[in-house]
Amino acid sequence: MSLPGPDLINGLFEGVGALFMFRSVRQILKDKQLKGFCWSTCAFFGCWSLYNLFFYPHLNQWASTTGAALMAVANSTYVFLVIYYRHQDHKQDPLRGLSEADKNREFRSVNAELDQMREALRANGVFHTPLALRRRGGEWDEYELDAISRTKDALSGKGS
């Protein structure tokens, strides 16, 4: 009984590697975001799989070429998704490009404004947020609408 040739064994390793890469592709699609990504690993295996597409045919190793093609497709798909979701993450981050100190200052500023608005709403008789109203299934009554109007005037400096 003869053992499978080195080409078949190598082709199987390439194919199994491609299955693992497609598993990573599936995980990114499921998460719809990047979670733990290393450029150097992806770059190395991506370049290696593309080089193998050139190398294996010269050796007439067609099982390895097939496995390398699967690996190249998996790596290319993975890189595309990484770029896509990294771009999506940056588009959704309104604070991108700010230093940590600037981000913290921005958060404090926004929290201070929210606290001021909450106090002004309470001072004018508004005790229900839109979320609380949605939960209770109601709408603002006339008194609350008038209180909201007075709060807007007070916050804009129009009120007395």
Helix (H, G, I), strand (E, B) or coil at 40: helix
Residue range(s) defining the domain that contains residue 136: 100-156
Indicate whether 1 belongs to any domain.
no
Same domain, 22 and 47: yes
For position 66, what pLDDT does the model report?
93
In a domain, 148, yes or no: yes
For the chain, what is the domain count? 2
Both 106 and 81 in a single domain?
no
Is 50 contained in some domain? yes
In CATH, what number is assigned to the domain containing residue 65?
Answer: 1.20.1280
150 in the same domain as 112:
yes
φ, ψ of residue 2 in degrees (nearest 5): -100, 145
Q: What is the pTM of this model?
A: 0.52
pLDDT tens per residue across all 160 residues of the chain: 454 688 899 899 999 989 988 988 888 888 887 777 677 777 888 888 889 999 999 999 999 999 999 999 998 898 888 888 877 766 666 666 667 787 777 777 777 777 777 777 677 666 555 544 444 455 555 656 666 677 677 667 665 5
Name the domain boundary from 71, 92, 113: 92
Those residues whose C-beta lies under 8 Å from the C-beta of residue 140, and which sit 6 or more positions away, are: 128, 133, 148
